Amino acid sequence: MLSKQVGGPETLELSELPDPMPSPGQVLVAVKACAINYPDVLIIEDKYQFKPPRPFAPGGEIAGVVEAVGEGVQGWSTGDRIMGTIGNGGLVEKIALDPTRMFRLPEGRSFAEGASLVLTYGTTIHALLDRGKLKEGQTLLVLGAAGGVGLAAIELGKAFGARVVAAVSSDEKAEAARQAGADEAIVYPRAPFDKEQSKALADQFKAAVGPQGADVIYDPVGGDYCEPALRSIAWEGRYLVVGFPAGIPKLPLNLTLLKSCDVCGVFWGAFAARDPQANQAHIDHLFRLWEQGKINPRVTETFPLERGGDAIAKMAARGAIGKLVVEM
């Protein structure tokens, strides 16, 4: 499923290409599942941090089976089940990969589940622990809490002993957040907001998080939701900037002074590249939590490859609850 021109999901084209061959140091993977994430919406519109040369396939999170092993590769064999993050290129039937991007898919876990873990939960564990310094007993406010990263933040917040308040845009999403373990779920209106609506939302956030405020705010939404959420932060709280599907906000910086709070950017891909050992420790932690049943990727809808554009369109419309996965 290739992006040959700048545009939305409707511009993607299903194409036939020769099978790739693994170069020395690579493995050939038969892709079985590719999870869709918000960067897939941005990358085909040339709005993401990285702009791969065209044509390219979107899809940064996959699971599959090793079909061939290139010269010099150690530790991987034909038939091994893998999962991993690749940036882009996942909406394909076969791909040649550097093994450093791969992890073993545990027995008993589906390819759809495997494709839905590393990017979403990897981003979130880095955000909550490294950037948010979340501690047991603290209050965590999660915006966009029914999406893939939102549900991951709920589960990880509870696993780390926090009280979790989920903020979502519908009653259906609120129920999904509660099922994931949220202590409380609130439904906010759709932006844009005028001044009075923004104040009303800030009051709604403040009532939900309690008089001490939210110690950590996890924001993968942005837009007009940012300032009202920041107004509910605790003294010396941490506001985590994760994504902007509702638009890039502009903050009145006097709020950060009044609460002596931190606004922290979260760029997991760059963190993983700069400190692979710390990232690997997080991934190992996630696998333990997965084995213990404390986290569980929620795949709510699957699509065939020829409908990969539909999956990206649903993500763009903010209609996803949990993870959307394309299966080959």
Are residues 150 and 260 both part of a single domain?
yes
- Residues 147, 228 share a domain: yes
- CA neighbor of 218 nearest in space, from 285, 255, 164, 281: 164
Distances (CA, A) of 280 to 27, 187, 191: 20, 36, 38
Q: Is position 168 within any domain?
A: yes
pTM of the full structure? 0.93
Let me know: does 326 contact 153? Beta carbons within 8 Å.
Answer: no
Domain with 246 in it: 121-269
Closest CA to 308 of 95, 36, 54: 36
Please report the sign of the dihedral spanned by the C-alpha atoms of residue 82, residue 88, residue 91, residue 96. Answer: negative
- Give a yes or no: residue 1 inside a domain: no
The span from the CA of 189 to the CA of 304, in Å, is 33
Task: State whether 138 and 248 are in the same domain.
Answer: yes
Same domain, 255 and 136: yes
CATH number at residue 219: 3.40.50.720
59 and 176 together in one domain? no
Domain end residue (candidates: 224, 254, 269): 269
Q: Which of 252, 269, 286 is the last residue of a domain?
A: 269
Whether residue 2 is contained in a domain is answered as no
Are 161 and 214 found together in one domain? Answer: yes
Please check whether residues 109 and 137 belong to one and the same domain. no
Q: What confidence score (pLDDT) does residue 48 get?
A: 87
Residues 132 and 253 in one domain: yes
Residues 178 and 109 in one domain: no
- Identify whether 290 is part of a domain: no
| pLDDT at residue number 49 | 82
Question: Do residues 26 and 102 share a domain?
Answer: yes
Give the 3-state secondary structure of residue 69: strand
274 in any annotated domain: no
pLDDT in tens, the chain (328 residues): 999 999 999 999 999 999 999 999 999 999 999 999 999 999 999 988 889 999 999 999 999 999 999 999 999 999 999 999 999 999 999 999 999 989 999 999 999 999 999 999 999 999 999 999 999 999 999 999 999 999 999 999 999 999 999 999 999 999 999 999 999 999 999 889 999 999 999 999 999 999 999 999 999 999 999 999 999 999 999 999 999 988 999 999 999 999 999 999 999 999 999 999 999 999 999 999 999 999 999 999 999 999 999 999 999 988 889 999 999 9
Chain position carrying tokens 């893998």:
82
Q: Determine how many CB atoms are found less than 10 A away from the CB of residue 309.
A: 22
What is the Cα–Cα distance from 33 to 212, expressed in whole angstroms?
A: 43
One domain, residues 54 and 89: yes
On whether both 101 and 173 belong to a single domain, the answer is no
Residue 50 within any structural domain of the chain: yes
Which residue, of 269, 284, 307, is where some domain finishes? Answer: 269
* Helix, coil or strand: residue 80: coil
* pLDDT at res. 50: 85
Residue from 141, 258, 132, 249 nearest 198 by CA: 249
User: Is 283 among the domain residues?
Assistant: no
The answer to the question of residue 58 being in a domain is yes
Task: Supply the DSSP string of 161-214, one letter for each residue.
Answer: T-EEEEEESSHHHHHHHHHTT-SEEEEPPPSP--HHHHHHHHHHHHHHH-TT-E
Tally of domains within the chain: 2
CATH number at residue 15: 3.90.180.10
Decide: 50 and 42 in contact? Cβ < 8 Å.
Answer: no
The pLDDT of residue 174: 97
> What is the dihedral angle through the alpha carbons of 264, 265, 271, 275, rounded to the nearest 10 degrees?
-30
Beta-bridged to residue 143, according to DSSP, are 167
